[in-house]
Amino acid sequence: MNQPLRVLFVCLGNICRSPLAEVVVKSVAEEQGLSQMFHFESAGTGDWHVGKGADPRSASKAVEKGLSLEKHQAQQITPRNIHDWDVFVAMDSDNQYNLIAMGVKPEQVIMMRAFEGMEQTPDVPDPYYGGAGGFEDAYQMLILNAQGLLQCLQNFKQQH
Ligand code: 4NP
């Protein structure tokens, strides 16, 4: 079998949205027997939380949904490590802009909410400064897009 596609979920801090996206999409991939096709991780464009665990609100949301962020350690994506990844899944348009500014090719960046049939792809809003509701909202956006994203990743793998 050929190498797994290396997929990096990206947000700003890598403690709220992208770690949750990583475990949500990974669990759907497992349910569908697709896990061998992909290697999933997550990272932030910022460095404030490098080495730290997930935000407790994201970690408890994961547990509530039967997932776990217990082992999460925040990491940063920088121009030096962009070549470790084949595809980047951006939570919002700032993440997309920052990835491309680092030298990632635009065609390597997929927006997390690109699979809702909206004319303009919306962001997964940053829940960090908001209340607990923002984490449930983020989870719902992630689970809603997981299937479409996995199909897109399978297509990407076939084409590259
Ligand atoms: P995330 O949320 O990008 O979804 O992990 C944030 C976490 C921390 C900060 C910003 C966003 N911060 O400014 O520290």
Mean pLDDT of 109-131: 96
The residue annotated as part of the active site, out of 55, 86, 92, 126, is 126
Q: Give the distance (Å) from ligand 1 centre to CA of residue 126.
A: 7
Neighbours of 145 (CB within 10 A): 25
For 33-60, the pLDDT digits (tens) are 999 999 999 999 999 999 999 999 999 9
Contact 144, 136 (CB under 8 A): no
Mean predicted lDDT score pLDDT of the chain: 97
Residues touching ligand 1 (Cβ under 6 Å) are 11-17, 44, 48, 126, 128
**Active-site residue flag, 17:** yes
What is this structure's pTM? Answer: 0.98
Q: In which band, very low, low, confident or very high, does the pLDDT at 131 lie, cut at 50, 70 and 90?
A: confident
Q: Is 66 left (phi over 0), alpha (psi -120 to 50) or beta?
A: left
Distance 25 CA to ligand 1 centre (A): 20
Q: Exactly one of 17, 55, 92, 113 is catalytic; name it.
A: 17
Please, what are the domains in the chain?
5-159 (3.40.50.2300)
